Amino acid sequence: MTTPQVLIFAILVATMGLFLWGRLRHDVVALAALMACVLAGLVPAADAFAGFGHPAVITVACVLVLSKGLQNTGAVDWLARSILPRDAGRLISTAALMGLGAALSGFMNNVGAMALLMPVAVQLAKRLDLTPGQVLMPLAFGTILGGMTTLVGTPPNLIVSGFREQAGLGPFAMFDFAPVGVAVALLGVLFIAVVGWRLVPARTSATGEGFETGAYMTELRVPGESKAVGLTLRAFEREIEDSEAQIVGLVRNQVRMTAPHGGRRIRAGDILLMEADVGALAEAVSVFGIQLEEQVSAAEEAEAAPRDGKAGKARAKADATGVAGRVTREGATAEQATADDAAAEDVTPKDVAAGTLAGENAVMEDGARAGMGDTFQNARSKARAANEEEPGKVPSTTSDADSKPESKPESKPDPKPDREDDIVLREMAVLPGSTIVGRSASDLQLRTRYGLNLLAIARVGHPPRARLRTVRLKSGDLLLMQGATEAIGAFINDTGCVPLGARELRIPDKRMAIIAGVIMLGAIAIVTLGLLPAAAAFALGLLASMLFRTVPPRQVYTAIDWPVIVLLAALIPVAGAMQTTGAADLLARFLVDMIAQGNPVAALAVVLITTMFLSDVMNNAATAAVMCPIALGIAAALGVNPDSFLMAVAIGASCAFLTPIGHQNNTLILGPGGFRFGDYWRLGLPLEALVVAVSMPLLLLVWPL
């Protein structure tokens, strides 16, 4: 091997190792690999960032924006309501949901399709008396299968098409992937709907109220009158019946103790860092008189604010009642508090009965006094105007009330608040690419900006052990948030999280939904007819989306998953270095001679299976970028049709079913489904075997060697 070949192999091995390690973001790893190639002289410095202008990268960015338009206008919700059966049995309902997810994923971002259908999947699981995971995993796999059916269905397809064009063969057409992809997707969906769903571990129960999501990490403060005072930590854990609650930390006198001894006695003022499910948290709060630290902190901040007039008295009662210290499911109000709670807080049962109204006004008033003012009030007004204005149109944030903030504290609360004004608890999942990934609750200033409380965090695999406000959020985390319905909705829209609680599908704006659909279909038609390349056609669609305001200009950049864009743009030059150094041809000859023994069919199977394996342990786009040069080298060495091998890479890169890290949708369901790392292979392994068995003869038939 030459020195450049040794260097590129070393960089690739290090890159794959970092992908597997998982401690660094994929885009950071890809950028590091690119810089290593530049420093080693494998990629000219002038060409280092040429990947950002690659047609595949531009197309991915544009498709993400067009997908946002379909989400904004409610077009997907309308499809779900029109297509999904309401009273069908398990087989038909599951197959219909997976089919819809697969169809959507063929033309929009897979993660976006998954996020939109997750609440539907949760409701379906409840109706069918299944665990959420038994519907979420089939849905996730269905959306992944659907991505392999079209050119724009998934980034690997665009990368494969780009390498074909670089090889002088021209890009793949819009539906060149369909003959093999559609057949694989259909058989995969049928297999999961009929047999495969039984292989999904039943980790949680869907028979109770709400959507159980496993263990949360939260902070509980022990007041002086709590029954927990004087108990040992071990005794306290035992007293919480039928739960797996665990005290993982203790804060006393501003000193934090990790893994405190079970014999340590609880004192008044202690803050317990507890890992438990929602039921255990509710029991700790109601039985022992313990309070959620986040709500106590909110009340103390409100206590420091001036209290005068009726609004001040309302806040005083809200701090004591509202929903403070109460863990309930979404839609529950403080009317469900008991008289014992009222006595403990030195308020009357009548105050407790009025807790919803008082709590709601406390959030609004305290928000205005604490400086959230415009942000929170505008969030509420925007939410109310959402159904009255065109999607993307920013509602006016000025009014007579806004121009006279000094009169706000004297305003009287509406004695009959709308249902949407209730203080609720909402579980939500942090999506990959969400703006809050890597940030803590303190960084987000939830109470100041939105009037929300972060009550607990659930994370599968490695639960957080730090103080709640300092935990850095990760993709797949589950958040238990408390606040006004509209404020929670504004937070979800701003941050890209997905709600997990039961909800009704929003009523779409039919006119704007039709426009968004026509724009997407128009771009697809332009590509299919060969009038423009995919990048130009979808860029034209992006421009139309902005002009017709299906995507507001301010949302265009936030709709793009920038880590994916950086990853693609960085790895394309690295993959090019594999070709220019001859490393791809060297590895291709090794695979042909040592493994495939010169047999083209065996070589095709090796490429397909190797790509599938790599996509399970590293990003699928990165896998496609690495495998395409190798696939072209194998085809050249054997003197056969390169399209067969490129299509094998496209199929293999879209089949990440064995681990939660292979695809973003797998990561997204890890927490909500209560899954463990090793749960995926139970369904994923037979599904991947089915994909190989179906795709191999189809590849040879449609793309003969």
Alpha-carbon torsion angle 536, 539, 540, 545, nearest 10: 170
| Dist. CA 436–CA 442, nearest whole Å | 11
Closest CA to 425 of 356, 361, 474: 356
- Stretch among 259-268, 294-303, 394-403 having the lowest mean pLDDT: 394-403
In a domain, 228, yes or no: no
Model pLDDT for residues 444-474, shown as the tens digit of each residue:
888 778 888 888 788 765 666 666 778 888 8
Task: Say yes or no: 554 and 656 in one domain.
Answer: yes
In a domain, 125, yes or no: yes
Any idea what the Cα angle at residue 646 is, between residues 568 and 19, rounded to 5°?
40
| Dist. CA 578–CA 588, nearest whole Å | 11
CATH number of the domain residue 352 falls in:
3.30.70.1450
Task: Say yes or no: 316 and 366 in one domain.
Answer: yes
H-type helices in 349-467, by residue range? 349-353, 355-370, 373-385, 400-403, 441-444, 446-449
- Residue 29 above 70 pLDDT? yes
| Dist. CA 671–CA 464, nearest whole Å | 13
Q: What average pLDDT does this structure show over 197-201?
A: 90
In a domain, 440, yes or no: yes
Position with higher pLDDT, 663 vs 6: 6
Confidence of residue 298 (pLDDT cuts 50, 70, 90): low
> Is the distance from CB of 226 to CB of 265 less than 8 angstroms?
no
In a domain, 623, yes or no: yes
- Residue 652 above 50 pLDDT? yes
Task: Say yes or no: 600 and 486 in one domain.
Answer: no
Q: What is the pLDDT of residue 394?
A: 36
Model pLDDT for residues 485-543, shown as the tens digit of each residue:
888 888 887 887 887 754 433 445 778 889 999 999 999 999 999 899 999 999 999 99
- Residue 93 above 70 pLDDT? yes
Report the number of distinct structural domains present in the chain. 2
- Stretch among 307-316, 330-339, 537-546, 693-702 having the lowest mean pLDDT: 330-339
Confidence of residue 681 (pLDDT cuts 50, 70, 90): very high
Q: What is the pLDDT of residue 183?
A: 96
In a domain, 238, yes or no: no
The DSSP secondary-structure symbol of 595 reads: I
- Residue 7 above 80 pLDDT? yes
Task: Say yes or no: 349 and 408 in one domain.
Answer: yes
Confidence of residue 147 (pLDDT cuts 50, 70, 90): very high
Model pLDDT for residues 687-703, shown as the tens digit of each residue:
999 999 999 999 999 99
- Residue 632 above 90 pLDDT? yes
Would you tell me the crossing angle of helices 55-72 and 110-127 to the nearest 10 degrees?
40
Task: Say yes or no: 470 and 540 in one domain.
Answer: no
Task: Say yes or no: 568 and 649 in one domain.
Answer: yes
- Residue 627 above 90 pLDDT? yes
- Domain end, chosen from 464, 499, 534, is at 499
Q: What is the pLDDT of residue 314?
A: 40
In a domain, 273, yes or no: no
Task: Say yes or no: 487 and 540 in one domain.
Answer: no
Residue type, 698: L
In a domain, 73, yes or no: yes
Confidence of residue 405 (pLDDT cuts 50, 70, 90): very low
Would you tell me the crossing angle of helices 534-547 and 510-528 to the nearest 10 degrees?
160
Q: What is the pLDDT of residue 118?
A: 82
Most confident listed range (341-345, 378-382, 575-579): 575-579
Q: The domain containing residue 132 runs over which residues?
A: 3-203+518-702
Task: Say yes or no: 420 and 493 in one domain.
Answer: yes
Closest CA to 607 of 582, 641, 573: 641
Task: Say yes or no: 549 and 668 in one domain.
Answer: yes
Mean pLDDT of the residues in the chain: 77
Task: Say yes or no: 482 and 560 in one domain.
Answer: no
- Stretch among 90-94, 293-297, 299-303, 380-384 having the lowest mean pLDDT: 380-384
| Dist. CA 580–CA 8, nearest whole Å | 10
Closest CA to 603 of 611, 591, 587: 591
Structure token digits, residue 417: 């608040």
Confidence of residue 277 (pLDDT cuts 50, 70, 90): low
In a domain, 570, yes or no: yes
- Domain end, chosen from 470, 499, 528, is at 499
Task: Say yes or no: 337 and 301 in one domain.
Answer: yes
Task: Say yes or no: 490 and 522 in one domain.
Answer: no
